[in-house]
């Protein structure tokens, strides 16, 4: 039987790339997002759900878990607000709810299924801005930094049950959303040792590594996918 993985943010560019790579490697991918604008052929199941609706999200996750063992969880859903902190209208509740609280909730519901299955892997998508800071993304960085700390803490608690918890930490990624800021992306590419920014498939490869057997003895770690733009501990 193929391994089952829950992927949030599955309808986005990065989520779609992750879903495709995992499906190609034999995973049964259950995608969660607000809506699915296309057929999403790489997904074995599509769950339309607002992850900021805590009771609704809890119920949706329980339905997924009831369908069989879960071997992987990828918390990829994210939302950002770009601008100087003191000049922005507050959207703090939304940023924290999507980037931090929903991932914590998913782990609380799903990890017990992994333990029952004899093990599993959680991959949280954070951001290099969470580790190095980023002007213009103060609250986003704070929420992702909280998720990074949660990952390390949870890894210490559940490792004894064969459950691993790791972070994938992207730098700038070229997506349809970032295309509107092409000049900024070009400047970041010029600063990057590898002279480009990430593509969605680069993030997918790191996620697949943490889900797969090659990282069987790796937990509580953060892998930066930034081409060397951000080199921080």
Instruction: Kindly list the structural domains of the chain, giving each domain's residue range(s) and its CATH number in brackets, ordered by start.
Output: 4-173+202-222 (3.40.50.720)
User: What is the pLDDT confidence band of residue 149, given thresholds at 50, 70 and 90?
Assistant: very high
Q: How far apart are CA 209 and CA 33, in angstroms?
A: 23
Residue 41 clears pLDDT 80, i.e. is over it: yes
Kindly report, residue by residue over 51-85, the tens digit of the pLDDT. 999 999 999 999 999 999 999 999 999 887 676 76
Instruction: Give 178: exposed, middle or buried? Use CB within 10 Å, 0-12, 13-18, 19+.
Output: middle
Kindly report, residue by residue over 82-122, the tens digit of the pLDDT. 767 677 787 889 999 999 999 999 999 999 999 999 999 99
SS3 198: strand
The residue behind tokens 């951001």 is 127
pTM exceeding the 0.85 threshold for the entire prediction:
yes
pLDDT for residue 226? 80
Residue 216 clears pLDDT 90, i.e. is over it: yes
Question: How far apart, in Å, do the first and last CA atoms of the chain sit?
Answer: 38
Kind plus residue range of the DSSP H or E element containing 156: helix 138-158
Question: Could you say which of 15, 30, 120, 140 is catalytic?
Answer: 140
Instruction: Give me the DSSP letters along 78-118.
Output: -----S-GGGSPP-HHHHHIIIIIHHHHHHHHHHHHHHHHT
Q: Which residues of 197-221 are buried (b: 16+ CB within 10 A; e: fewer)?
A: bbebebbbebbbbbbeeebeeebee
Q: Of 6-10, 128-132, 223-227, which gets the smallest average pLDDT?
A: 128-132
The residue behind tokens 């100087």 is 84
pLDDT for residue 160? 98
Count of beta carbons in the 10 Å neighbourhood of residue 177: 12
What mean pLDDT, rounded, does the chain reach? 89
pLDDT for residue 181? 58
- For 140, the token pair is 């986003």
Q: How far apart are CA 157 and CA 96, in angstroms?
A: 23
pLDDT for residue 102? 98
User: What is the pLDDT confidence band of residue 38, given thresholds at 50, 70 and 90?
Assistant: confident
Among 103, 113, 109, smallest CA distance to 52 is for: 103
Question: Angle at the Cα of 164 (from 200 to 118), degrees rounded to 5?
Answer: 120
pLDDT for residue 180? 56
> Is-catalytic flag, 57?
no
Residue 182 clears pLDDT 80, i.e. is over it: no
- For 89, the token pair is 């209208």
Compute the average pLDDT of residues 22-33.
Answer: 97
At residue 203, φ and ψ (nearest 5 deg) are -70, -40
Dihedral sign computed on CA atoms, order 101, 164, 15, 6: negative
């Amino acid at each position: 039987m193929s391994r089952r993985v829950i992927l949030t943010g599955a309808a986005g560019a990065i989520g779609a790339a992750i879903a495709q790579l995992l499906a190609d490697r034999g995973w049964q991918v259950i995608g969660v997002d607000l809506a699915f604008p296309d057929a999403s052929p790489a997904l074995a199941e599509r769950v339309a759900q607002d992850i900021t609706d805590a009771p609704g999200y809890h119920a949706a996750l329980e339905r997924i878990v009831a369908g069989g063992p879960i071997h992987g969880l990828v918390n990829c859903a994210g939302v950002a607000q770009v601008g100087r902190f003191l000049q922005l209208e507050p959207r703090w509740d939304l940023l924290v709810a999507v980037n931090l609280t929903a991932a914590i909730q998913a782990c609380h519901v799903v990890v017990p299924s992994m333990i029952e299955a004899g093990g599993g892997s959680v991959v949280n998508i954070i951001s290099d801005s969470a580790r190095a800071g980023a002007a213009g993304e103060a609250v986003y960085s704070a929420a992702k930094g909280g998720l990074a700390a949660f990952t390390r803490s949870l890894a210490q608690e559940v490792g004894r049950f064969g459950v691993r918890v790791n972070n994938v930490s992207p730098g700038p990624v070229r997506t349809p959303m970032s295309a509107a800021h092409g000049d900024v992306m070009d400047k970041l590419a010029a600063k990057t040792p590898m002279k480009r920014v990430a593509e969605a498939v680069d993030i997918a490869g790191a996620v697949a590594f943490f889900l797969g057997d090659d990282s069987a003895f790796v937990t509580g770690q953060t892998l930066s996918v930034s081409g060397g733009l951000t080199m921080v501990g």
